[in-house]
Amino acid sequence: MKKRKLYSLVLLLLGAFQYATGQDLKLNDREYFEQQGVNVLVYNNLFTGGFNDEKNAGIELIHHGVRTAQGGAVRLSNTPEQWDLVPDILNRKVDRAAKTIEATLRYKEYNFDSRVVVTAKGKGVEIAVYLDKPLPKALEGSAGFNLEFLPSQYWAKNYLVDGRPNLFPRYVVGNTVTKPNSQKPKQYKGYVTSDDRGTGKFIDPLPLETGRTFLFAPDAPERMVKITSPDTDLMLFDGRMLAQNGWFVVRSLLPAGKTGKVLTWTIEPNAIKDWVREPNIGFSQVGYLPAQPKVAVIELDKKDKPAKSAFIFKVGDDGKATKVFSGAIKPWGDYFKYHYVKFDFSAVKTPGIYYIQYGGNKTNNFLIGDHVYSKITDATSDIWIPIHMNHMFVNEAYRVWHGEPFKDGYLQAPPNTDHFDLHAQGPTTDTKFKPLEVIPGLNVGGFFDAGDFDIETGSNISVVQNFVKTWESFKPLRDQTFIDQKQRYVDLHRPDGTPDVLQFIEHGTLNLVAQAEILGHMAQTLSNSVLDNYHHLGDAASLTDGLPYNPKLGPYEVAKDGRSSGVKDDLWAFTSREPELDLRAATMFAAASRALKGYNDDLSARALTQSKRLLKEATALMANQKQDTSGRGNAANMATNLQLYIATSEKQYLDRFQELLWPALERNVSANLLTALDAIPHLDASYKEKLRPYVVKYKEYIAGLEKNNPYGVPIGLTNWAGSGDVTAFGTTVCFASKYFPEIIDASHAFKATNYLFGAHPYHNYSLVATVGATRPKAVFYGNNRADFSFIPGNVAPGILFRKPDHFENYDDWPFLWGQNEGTIGGNTAYLIFGSAFKNLVK
């Protein structure tokens, strides 16, 4: 006991010493609290309401460069899950004189408002919650203030609660109780987030610890945080008890029957004295061709003094490193919170193994050689894509990635049904099928959308179009996958004599043609009917029981004939008709019909028939709708007419394509130029000359990117990171430089590969799983994300922007889809870019 008390005292003294060295937090011009090494953001990023708790909003702590805490808000449960209610933020007020930021939070479902006021207080902040009216009776004992901490930054670290030492668990272990479902606060749109298996009860985690003073990570100064409350208990929960994406939650309940200032916390993040963020040396982890431009982009803390030069070392045959090049560091300037400089080592051309030395920082090794880019798409085409083939058993050596999913098929979604993944069934089914009737024939072909197992029709349309473009532009004959539609079986690394891309086109087209023929138009999505299934992790074949739902049976009961069950696990077809989606499908069907001719002539003919029909019907439907001011409908119509002209040579489609093209280019040349370039091989020389001024405009767009950011590529600043924008940019450059080399320099394409493979903000890891010399990202958001792993070839959305000035990409925490989730649309777009890029550098 004496040893334990002495240990606690030592740790507390260590904490006191660290806090004494820090400076006071100040409210900066970007409206957050700041000192060197510590940023406290207060509702700079809001809960969106789209997917509710996305773990990137509220009160956030960026601690020595890493966002380690978020979600500070009044919440209605101990460990909120993703679809639990989040508050609307009615207003945000900044008072510089008082050093406060205040926000009003509302739960309209309970007519309940609270105000959260955050005030700079010495080396930390005070968080106070105010109520103008007492808590609603329904929320007594459930409403509390929560702040969530990133598990990967704290597990296996110590913490103290009122002096009692403990350890953050690496894997969730703790105690729970069950409570009647009637005691659970209302959830988002009434969805049940976890299956109670007929018990009528939900699981509620118990706190790991309770006290008035918490000291997190006294053994790790860069993560040490002190939290105190003078008037209420603090409780620590492990959110992973209910959901693998849960965080550690510090929580205090709001008192019943009180108004005014009802809760006060003080939070003091430790700031390491004279801390300066380590330089992020951005370079291509894949390596470089001998003759290509080679420029490292170095991201520096603004307190860091740039070095005057950097060095290239070559690793010799004897394993020893020799300095072979030194070059001057050239300033670029500031971009959001960091300062950037560049190091050009293009003069290094001898093939070999190298690393960069900048100041005291040495990078991992990389290659210079003639074939460094030759395999950049192999993992995506050989592994990631076939693993995402729906309605197939997918095997790899000794491993089964998933069995055959959804043998039970799809049910017609009932009218007026809202879906948790941003879809909805309108007032009618728009089909001949009755609500909850089995729709035969839809469980064929198609690709899982992303980390989930639904078929997003819009994504699958893009996917087939991407495959066709890859096939027609580059004719890749790579055959590393056995695909048998009759057996519904896929085996990786086993050639079957047919190019894989051609089989991928067939597989995607099978599902989409089935939708058009059976439903009469395209479904919005084929997706889960219950939320508990939607967030299923593991084998897709275990998501449902393989038996259609029978409402006449009791829960979990199986019919005597074994052909139906009382399990509500079937997927639904959301079939409200969207003419714009039909137009996009018509584009894809026209393109697929060409690629499939001579391989699957029956499917080719069916696809062309549906293309013509959907174009005609969708054009008529859109003419009767309100005018589309977004331009999306015209863009889809433009591409559809181009693909139909290429497939049929009928002049009517060419005329309509050109009618729509030129205004679209006037509106947005960067978004529409690639479609315009696709037409060049099929039209005459006059068309190419007419397109030339728009290519000149695109050159100006490229020049603007080089001034906008130090990487010279389009960087997305939304809730979905921008790797897709970078691949689209790279693809456009590849094709534009092919047709207009005198205008567009092909070297701009290297900026896209550099960014994807390591030259980007935050860290320098390759954003493509397993692609990179020694440091590709190791953790992705896929359907195996609970394993903290990856599926080879997955392309991460990338570097996510958090307002007002923070970029991030977690490589130790997979569960933020906006930065780590690969999608079938994004990864097949990468397949096009990779193919175009490899063709460019031959």
Report residue 274 as tokens: 């004279």
More confident residue, 10 or 438: 438
Active-site amino acid positions = 812, 821
The residue type at 805? D
Q: For the residues 38-60, what does the mean pLDDT come to?
A: 90
The secondary structure element, H or E, covering residue 525 is: strand 525-528
Q: For the residues 535-563, what does the mean pLDDT come to?
A: 91
Give the count of beta carbons closer than 10 Å to the beta carbon of residue 177: 10
Q: Residue 578: which of 806, 706, 426 has the closest Cα?
A: 426
Question: Helix, strand, coil: what percent of the chain each, to 5?
Answer: 30, 25, 45
Q: In this predicted model, what pLDDT tens digit does every residue of 256-310 receive, in sequence order? A: 999 999 999 999 999 999 999 999 999 999 999 999 999 999 999 999 999 999 9
- Rounded distance, CA 251 to CA 227, Å? 11
Q: Is the model's pLDDT at 190 over the cut of 60?
A: no
Give the count of beta carbons closer than 10 Å to the beta carbon of residue 233: 12
Check if the beta carbon of residue 81 is closer than 8 Å to that of residue 51.
no
The secondary structure element, H or E, covering residue 379 is: helix 378-379
**CA neighbours within 13 Å on the CB side: how many for 389?**
35
Contacts of 536 (CB under 8 A, 6+ apart): 453, 528, 542, 543
Bond from prior residue into 804 cis (ω within 30 degrees of 0): yes
Mean pLDDT of the chain: 93
Q: What is each CA distance from 478 to 59, 375, 381, 788, 824, in whole angstroms?
A: 50, 11, 9, 30, 19
Q: Could you give all domains of the chain from N- to C-terminal order, each with its CATH number?
A: 2-269 (2.70.98), 280-368 (2.60.40.10)
Q: Residue 765: which of 707, 812, 712, 817 has the closest Cα?
A: 812
The residue type at 667? R
The size of the chain, in residues, is: 842
Q: Is the model's pLDDT at 1 over the cut of 80?
A: no
Q: What is each CA distance from 734 to 305, 414, 838, in whole angstroms?
A: 38, 46, 10
Check if the beta carbon of residue 676 is closer than 8 Å to that of residue 694.
yes
Give the count of beta carbons closer than 10 Å to the beta carbon of residue 167: 12
The residue type at 63? H
Partnered with residue 483 across adjacent β-strands are: 490
First to last CA, the chain: 71
Report residue 322 as tokens: 């020799």
Check if the beta carbon of residue 736 is closer than 8 Å to that of residue 775.
no
Q: Is the model's pLDDT at 338 over the cut of 80?
A: yes
Q: Is the model's pLDDT at 475 over the cut of 70?
A: yes
More confident residue, 14 or 424: 424
- Rounded distance, CA 657 to CA 667, Å? 16
Lowest model confidence (mean pLDDT) among 76-90, 256-270, 370-384: 76-90
Q: In this predicted model, what pLDDT tens digit does every residue of 323-334 receive, in sequence order? A: 999 999 999 999
